[in-house]
Chain A
Amino acid sequence: MNFFLEGIYQTVGEHLPMWLMMLIAAVTGIAVVLGMVSLIAMFSVWLERKVSGHIQCRYGPMYVGWHGWLQSIADGVKLLLKEDMIPRDADRALFMLAPGLVLAAILGAFAAYPLSPGIWFGDIDLGVFMIIAFSSMTTIGVVMAGWASNSKWTIYGSMREAAQVVAYEIPLGISLLVPVMVAGTFNLREASALQADWFGMKWFLFTNPFMLPAFVLFFIAALAETKRAPFDLPEAESELVAGFMTEYSGIRWSFFFMEEYAAMFLMSALGAVFFLGGFESPLTHFAGEFFGRDLVVVGAGGAKELNFAAIPYHLVAAVTLIAKCFFGVFLMMWLRWTLPRVRIDQVMTMGYKYLTPLSLLCVLGAALWEAGKHALFAS
């Protein structure tokens, strides 16, 4: 993205006013993120149906395309064509606004996702912080949807969402603090680059004994934050019909699902970058050795040139991260179809009484370990 925009700027930038460049940058960024989120959601819906099917000893979708791989497109067309119902007693304005707010928040969070070591939407120093901040904003949209629908099920769903997310944001942030402290950066791309040693296997998970418990805590908190089973109480289809989205239909309803799968992907991306090496793997390492890593080289005469030879390396890196993200998404689906839902008081107890103190202990232990390592081997 950055190269694409820089290319535009260098060729026609001098003839265009600044505000038009900003507008072009914004529109391209939003379009690419929206496309990415749609693709992720479509693939994840198909994957979820296949995973759930195979866990329950059935096939899942089989008819639309090979093993049903076109099923999501068929679903999407159906959802676009469905009637958009708004209940008579609903708060119309908020009812219509809520799905958009939910989706917009997660699209904003995607701005911090690095596509490859050299290609990004925004190389944001506050990457993690921004992702957590924006994904906590989706809560407001969910609460808005629940209240505006003016139904008992939806109100229950959104109250649970508010209580749950406020509780689990704390362990989520604190357990992420462990790798962030070791890395010394919030930036996803820089954190990934720090794990490149040992032939691309120096993942943060292997460098500190407190990383593994922190990773487990992070994963549990991420499940609760993305309201996935066993923490899917805001939805809870067996008690609350469909929770906060009971009254929604058609494309507005699908926005909530796009948000859910995009949030799962982003949380897995955080886990992948800060615990599981990000772009780095032996494959990425050797691709980097073979093809070279720099996308931009300074050619003769000091002009910046695009180094096409390095593109395979960036492709491998991007695919490595995406594969790790989808491994996390798969894990979440596996858990969803394996574990029963917990009760709301159990959710609260677990968040406040166990996860929060444990994550604080992890931070303390990791800090002591790093300080000791520094004192012993600093040279």
Chain B
Amino acid sequence: MELSDRIFYPLVAVLGLGAIGAGALSAGGPGAAFGLFAWLVLGGSLVCIWERSVVRSAFALLGTFGGTAGLFLLLGSDFLAMSQILIYVGGILALILFGVMLTPPDLTERKLPRVAAGLVAVGAGVAFIAAKVAMTADWVQAAELAEPKSATREIGVAFVAAEEYVVPFELAAVVLTVALVAAVYVARRRTSDLKPEAGAEAEPRA
């Protein structure tokens, strides 16, 4: 473990304890949970841009996606939370890992410029969103928040009710299907590509 890692990881851990503590002090149990999930999201992103190994970066996204699911859960949207886990953790992260796992676990690679650029980008993003939220948000006290309840039934009804979202929903489905079919068409191997080659390498098609 290098010196920079020895400073960075305890810092992230302390940040997490601070976030949970601050949340617990300001809003009790739910506040602590919010602190934990917010730390997972932010800590995951920080580790993702800090790590030199691209696979470890990808694994750090697990915290980010999981924390986002937790935040959805805290807001009472269990359907979104579970979709987040199923799609982002089970699907997209698995695909990302599938792609990057073939890289060797080479911890000597330096990507400090990338880390610096990432920090600047994250900092600018956070500053922008914080400013935007601070200017526009209508702060609601925790006591006034409605009791969280399952929104699944309402989402389901909204998707199939004719006067609500059935047309946009079906339209999105058609667009996605077309995109998928097109991607498969572009990526498919033509029969002419499968001819036994005389030379060592097949020529790329124009």
Using CB atoms and an 8 Å cutoff, list the residues of chain A in contact with chain B: 17-19, 22, 89, 91, 94, 101, 124-126, 129-130, 132-134, 136-137, 139-140, 143-144, 146-147, 150, 155, 158-159, 162-163, 165-166, 169, 186
Contact = CB atoms under 8 A, between A and B. Distances in A.
Given A18-B28, A19-B32, A125-B153, A144 B90 contact: no
A110 to B, nearest CB: 15
B89 interface: yes
> Chain B at the A interface: mostly helix, strand, loop or mixed?
helix
Given A139-B90, A144-B59, A165-B94, 20 more contacts: A18-B28, A19-B28, A94-B56, A101-B62, A126-B82, A133-B82, A133-B83, A133-B89, A136-B90, A137-B90, A140-B59, A140-B62, A140-B97, A143-B94, A143-B101, A146-B101, A159-B98, A162-B95, A162-B101, A186-B152
Contacts of A129: 79, 82-83, 86
Interface of B: 24, 28-29, 32, 53, 55-56, 59, 62, 78-79, 82-83, 85-86, 89-91, 93-95, 97-98, 101-102, 105, 150, 152-153
Given A126-B79, A134-B85, A163-B98, A91 B91 contact: no
A124 B55 CA distance: 34
Q: Is the interface of A mostly helix, strand, loop or mixed?
A: helix
Given A91-B105, A137-B85, A144-B59, A162 B78 contact: no
B78 A166 contact: no
Top 8 nearest A-B pairs (CB, nearest first) are A136-B90, A133-B86, A19-B29, A125-B150, A133-B85, A162-B98, A133-B82, A22-B29
Contacts of A143: 94, 97-98, 101
Nearest to B32: A19
Interface-central residue, A17, A134, A143, A147, by most chain B CB under 10 Å = A147
A22 B36 CA distance: 15
A163 B150 CA distance: 33
A165 B28 CA distance: 39
A180 to B, nearest CB: 11
B153 A140 contact: no
A159 B28 CA distance: 43
A91 B56 contact: yes
Nearest to B29: A19
Contact of B90 (A19, A133, A146): A133
Contacts of B79: 126, 129
Contacts of B53: 91
B24 A19 contact: yes
Contacts of B98: 143, 159, 162-163, 166
A166 B82 contact: no
Contact of A137 (B24, B78, B89): B89
B101 A147 contact: yes
Contacts of A18: 28-29
Q: Which of B90, B95, B152, B153 has the most CB of A within 10 A?
A: B90
6 contacts: A126-B152, A140-B94, A150-B105, A159-B98, A159-B101, A166-B94
Contacts of A139: 90, 94
Nearest to A97: B59
Contacts of A186: 152
Most chain A CB atoms below 10 A, which of B79, B93, B94, B98: B94
Contacts of A22: 29
